[in-house]
Amino acid sequence: MRVLLLSGALSLIFTLVLTPVFVRGFQRLGWGQFIRQDGPQTHFVKRGTPTMGGIIILLGIVFGYFVAHLITGATPSYSSVLVIAIMLGLGAVGFLDDFSKIRQQQSLGLSPRAKIVGQIIVATAFSALAISFPDQNGETPASLAISFIRDIDWLTFAVFGTIGSYIAFAIWTSLIVVSTSNAVNLTDGLDGLAAGSSILVFGAYVLISFWQFNQSCFSASLDPVVAYKCYEVRDPLDLAAVATAILASLIGFLWWNTSPAKVFMGDTGSLALGGGVAAMAIFTRTELLLPLIAGLFLILTASVVLQRTYFKLTKGRRIFYSSPLHHHYEIKGWAEVTIVVRFWLIAGFLAFAGAGIFYLEWLGR
């Protein structure tokens, strides 16, 4: 418990206090945001705002998590290190995209194909490590079974044999990681929208992973009366600690990212956060619950898919004024802060509805 609280406190202090220092450094380096020409006209005033603030978020997470473990003498868990690793890997892909935008002086960075290839490479490496190195209980961070609230025993990749199961799991993991990281990336269009929504999603995962620790099958203090409801999840308390570090780092960053933003997270931050969300879903065995917990990201991504599909089928007609959906409401005349707060409310409702369903499953089991 101490390491959980300390991880959050240190991450919060890091980003809250040091973000202005990084912002000045980014300004000296000329790391300013470029605005796409087909977006809302109100966004042109944001041109030149320092970007790649995802670097600050990631450093805050790394600092808070590892220093908390150093102070308390706790050993960092393999599961949490993998969560941080996938965030750093996808953050690197996002950094290349952001840096290429700055270097080319335009709003287009890496090609969509190059970005997806980078995401798949990171996700594939992550999937291989996630089902390797079992602990003393024989548990690996991830499972070869597809999960909803727990592993679904009859829906497992193990039926494909050793090599086939690894390949199938890598494909499944890549699908989750790529879709989630791109969904958060699409959400990052208004000041504070992606950061605030991600705080709520990781808040739900703090609750889920802490409850899994409380009801772990491997806990010596587990009440025998409810032992049949226990969770076979590796390192649940430390997963709660790393989720808290992520959440707290985002809170400190959001202080400077709310409208008018002093710094944007860029693809460096949004791709990394999407990877963190995906990893938490896989490690807490809530993969099929992820679309509800991260429901706002799904809604905004669906608005883009619907817009493009309808545009092609009708040869130029549109459902929304612009997509993702938050830009539609901007063009309709809603204030940016109004859109962000209302979307935060939707994100919070969906995230904690997902956490609520997770808990209700335990109650009704």
Angstrom CA distances, 300 to 10, 52, 240, stand at 32, 22, 27
- The C-alpha atoms of residue 230 and residue 48 are separated, in whole angstroms, by 51
Q: Which of 160, 190, 179, 169 is nearest to 290 (CA)?
A: 179
| pLDDT number for residue 44 | 44
- The C-alpha atoms of residue 167 and residue 158 are separated, in whole angstroms, by 11
Mean pLDDT for the stretch of residues 269-282: 97
Mean pLDDT, all residues of the chain:
92
Residue-wise pLDDT for 9-28, tens only, equals: 999 999 999 999 999 998 88
What stretches of the chain show up as alpha helix (H) in DSSP? 2-29, 54-72, 78-104, 112-130, 161-187, 193-214, 236-257, 266-283, 290-293, 295-313, 325-332, 336-364
- The C-alpha atoms of residue 241 and residue 289 are separated, in whole angstroms, by 21
Q: Note whether 272 and 349 are within 8 A (CB).
A: no
pTM of the model: 0.94
Residue-wise pLDDT for 323-350, tens only, equals: 899 989 999 989 999 999 999 999 999 9
